[in-house]
Structure formats: C-alpha cells, structure tokens
C-alpha cells in the first residue's frame, strides 16, 4: 500500500512536504487520533498505520509522533472532542492543507478495515470544522482504499 499511496493521494496532497511543518504534523496526528478514538479506543492497527504513514512515508521521527500522540490523548481525555476539533482547525492554514489532514486521518481510520459510525461522526465534525463539510466521505474512503 505504501508505494500506491506515494503515487496517488499521498503525493497529490504533498504530505511528505507538509509533515515537515510542526503545526501541520500536530493537526494530522490530532485529527487521526480523534477519529481513531471516536469509537472508544484507538486500535493497534490504527496506531501502526499512523506510525507507518508518518514515519515511513513522511519521514517523521517516531519520538515526535509519540509526543504529539500523547498530547492529543491527554487533551481528549481532559477536554473532549470539540476543543480538539477546534484546535485542528486553528492549526490548518488553508483548504488544501485541511483536505490533506482529513485524508491522512481517514487512512488511519481505515487501517482496521472498519470505519465505525462514531468514527464517521467525528470525521464529519472534523471536515465541518476544517471548512470541508461539502466533501463526500464515502468517496474519500474509496479513494484511500484504491
């Protein structure tokens, strides 16, 4: 899947370059974690998918990923979903970056081959917060599946 992603949505959204920016990285990790945790737990497959995509495809240091993931988890536990969704929106600078964050988050959600109703709800809330509420979630999921 990695080489497929490099040729398609990953490269189209410029994710390897975007992930070099700390604010984009925080937005990507936070949004991926929010969707993965929406059904009450982030699965091991989702965690591995996040690491694979960020570490292998994006060249991001694992310690940096774990640091941001721990912060997202703590903030979610302390404050719930809404403030975290608002934070992701603050971190993203434009519509293209917002679409890239959402695509990466959905790819992580698909890692366990199940996007639950709760994960879909958070994905829709994220899309709305990012100004992407007109996107077709099922079409994006199909694109990621290839």
Q: Spell out the domain ranges in the chain.
A: 2-145
57 against 5, higher pLDDT: 57
51: nearest Cα among 39, 72, 68, 34: 68
**How many beta carbons lie within 10 A of that of residue 1, not counting itself?**
15
Query: Rounded to an integer, what distance in angstroms lies between the CA atom of residue 119 and that of residue 123?
Result: 6
Taken as a whole, the chain contains a residue count of 146
Residues 29-45 as b/e (b if ≥16 CB within 10 A, e otherwise) read: bbbbbbbbbbbeebbee
| pLDDT, average across residues 92-113 | 91
* Residue 6 pLDDT class (50, 70, 90 cuts): low
Question: Which 8-state DSSP code applies to residue 130?
Answer: T
Q: Contact 68/30 with Cβ under 8 angstroms?
A: yes
pTM of the model: 0.90
DSSP 4-72: HHHHTHHHHTTHHHHTTSHHHHHHHHHHHHHHHHTTS---HHHHHHHHIIIIIIT---HHHHHHHHHHH
Give residue-wise pLDDT tens across range 20-55. 999 999 999 999 999 999 988 777 888 888 888 888
Place of tokens 């929406």: 38
Query: Rounded to an integer, what distance in angstroms lies between the CA atom of residue 105 and that of residue 32?
Result: 4
Q: Contact 113/48 with Cβ under 8 angstroms?
A: no
pLDDT at 133: 84
Superfamily name and number for 2-145 = TerB-like (1.10.3680.10)
Q: Contact 44/98 with Cβ under 8 angstroms?
A: no
* Residue 1 pLDDT class (50, 70, 90 cuts): very low
């Amino acid at each position: 899947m990695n080489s497929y992603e490099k040729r398609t949505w990953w490269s189209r959204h410029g994710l390897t370059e975007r992930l070099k920016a700390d604010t984009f990285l925080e937005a990507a990790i936070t949004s991926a974690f929010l969707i993965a945790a929406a059904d009450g737990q982030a699965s091991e497959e989702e965690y591995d998918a996040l690491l694979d995509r960020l570490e292998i495809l994006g060249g991001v240091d694992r310690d940096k990923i774990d640091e941001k993931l721990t912060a997202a988890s703590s903030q979610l536990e302390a404050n719930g979903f809404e403030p975290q969704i608002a934070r992701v929106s603050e971190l993203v600078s434009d519509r293209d970056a917002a679409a890239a964050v959402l695509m990466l988050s959905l790819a992580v959600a698909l890692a366990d081959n199940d996007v639950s109703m709760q994960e879909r709800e958070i994905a829709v809330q994220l899309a709305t917060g990012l100004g992407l509420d007109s996107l077709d979630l099922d079409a994006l999921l199909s694109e990621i599946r290839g």
